[in-house]
Amino acid sequence: MKRIAILTSGGDAPGMNAAVRAVTRKAIHEGMEVYGINYGYAGLVAGDIRKLDVPDVGDIIQRGGTCLYSARYPEFATEEGQLKGIEQLKKFGIEGLVVIGGDGSYHGALALTKRGFPAVGVPGTIDNDIPATDFTIGFDTAINTVLDAIDRIRDTATSHVRTFIIEVMGRDAGDIALWAGVAGGADDIIIPEHEFDMKQVANKIRQGRDRGKKHCLIILAEGVMSGHDFADQLAEHGDFHARVSVLGHIVRGGSPTARDRVLASKFGGYAVDLLKEGKGGLCVGILNNELVASDIVETLETKKHHPDLSLYDLNHQISF
């Protein structure tokens, strides 16, 4: 391939810019032309496409968000939307596409693959919920952002002898809550992938108070319920002086960590290698610290992400 394009889609994630930079500069290094597509699949269909050169991706590796912007575009799920997108790619002479994003973005790449257009998916989402990879771009930054909040909230929780429910992003996946909860010494972690008993949560808080513990921190994935609903249900089992902190979109922003910058650079470079070899219909990932390329159709249609529930069990054993 001599001409490829990049788009970012879905929710932004710290490290997306590092991936855009890596794809662009690796492709130029390999003698290829690179085009950036603004606003994801919406921009693809609209033809909002521009050539990228080395200076265009300078000074972005440290920036959060995405310099190519992002937009929701459910119309790309239709045949009409997909054919319009392919028409635009052909109009610009683009032979392959790198799609950086999460599950919805991957389904767009899958649709292009099924229509014979080479696309490579790069996992970029703070939720870490993409199959065929241990980690996604943005996850490490997100859990460190949550961890910083946990450490700060612990100070005021201790000062006022309160229970704090910290609601974090993760609609269908509990990885952010799980990893940040273990790292932050949470008393309880509530995630969609594991059942919980509110009575047991309440008893654990009482036991801690009986030992003289001055605070209680509960990390709640938003996909289970809202923090305020959780607090209301907890109040049915006693007065625990509970307060709720909803971290929300703050978890998505900020400068990416070194780990996310390196991971994004590896993924971006590897995606270019695959397209240079004429390969498409793949998604890149990292398994056991090794870069891998998986069939995107098989990955999305037969595989599912599962969090490391051994962390859940470990936290239960050490959080008393």
- Closest Cα to residue 50, out of 80, 20, 84, 11? 20
Residue 119 to residue 111: CA distance in whole angstroms: 9
The string of pLDDT tens digits covering residues 263-288 is: 999 999 999 999 999 999 999 999 99
Do 41 and 189 fall within a single domain? Answer: no
- Per the annotation, the verdict on 127 as an active-site residue is yes
Tally of domains in the chain: 2
Do 7 and 99 fall within a single domain? Answer: yes
pLDDT value of position 128 = 97
Q: Give the chain's mean pLDDT.
A: 96
Domain assignment present for residue 170? The answer is yes
pLDDT value of position 1 = 87
| pTM > 0.85: yes or no | yes
Domain of 28, CATH number, reads 3.40.50.450
Q: What is the mean pLDDT of residues 74-87?
A: 96
Do 264 and 117 fall within a single domain? Answer: yes
Do 194 and 179 fall within a single domain? Answer: yes
Do 171 and 212 fall within a single domain? Answer: yes
Do 279 and 292 fall within a single domain? Answer: yes
Domain of 178, CATH number, reads 3.40.50.460
Tokens found for residue 59 = 């000074």
pLDDT value of position 55 = 97
pLDDT value of position 136 = 98
Q: What is the mean pLDDT of residues 17-28?
A: 98
pLDDT value of position 17 = 98
Domain assignment present for residue 320? The answer is no
Q: Tell me: pLDDT of 223 over 90.
A: yes
Do 13 and 134 fall within a single domain? Answer: yes
Domain that holds residue 17: 3-138+256-302
Catalytic residue, chosen from 12, 48, 127, 175, is 127
Domain assignment present for residue 129? The answer is yes
* 26 marked among binding-site residues: no
pLDDT value of position 320 = 77
* 241 marked among binding-site residues: no
- Asked whether the beta carbons of 282 and 117 are under 8 A apart, the reply is no
Do 7 and 130 fall within a single domain? Answer: yes
pLDDT value of position 33 = 98
Q: What is the mean pLDDT of residues 152-160?
A: 95
Domain assignment present for residue 308? The answer is no
- Asked whether the beta carbons of 128 and 238 are under 8 A apart, the reply is no
Do 76 and 199 fall within a single domain? Answer: no
Domain assignment present for residue 266? The answer is yes
Domain assignment present for residue 130? The answer is yes
* 222 marked among binding-site residues: yes
Q: Tell me: pLDDT of 76 over 80.
A: yes
* 157 marked among binding-site residues: no
For 93, half-sphere exposure in the C-beta direction (CA atoms, 13 angstrom radius) is: 8
Domain assignment present for residue 313? The answer is no
Neighbouring CB atoms inside 10 A of 11's CB total 22
Domain assignment present for residue 309? The answer is no
Do 164 and 224 fall within a single domain? Answer: yes
Do 185 and 236 fall within a single domain? Answer: yes
Residue 251 to residue 241: CA distance in whole angstroms: 26
Alpha-carbon Rg for the chain in angstroms: 22
- Closest Cα to residue 139, out of 161, 116, 123, 119? 123
* 3 marked among binding-site residues: no
Q: What is the mean pLDDT of residues 295-302?
A: 91
* 249 marked among binding-site residues: yes
Do 110 and 168 fall within a single domain? Answer: no
The string of pLDDT tens digits covering residues 168-210 is: 998 889 999 999 999 999 999 999 999 999 999 999 999 999 9
The string of pLDDT tens digits covering residues 48-75 is: 999 999 999 999 999 999 999 999 899 9
Q: What is the mean pLDDT of residues 133-162?
A: 96
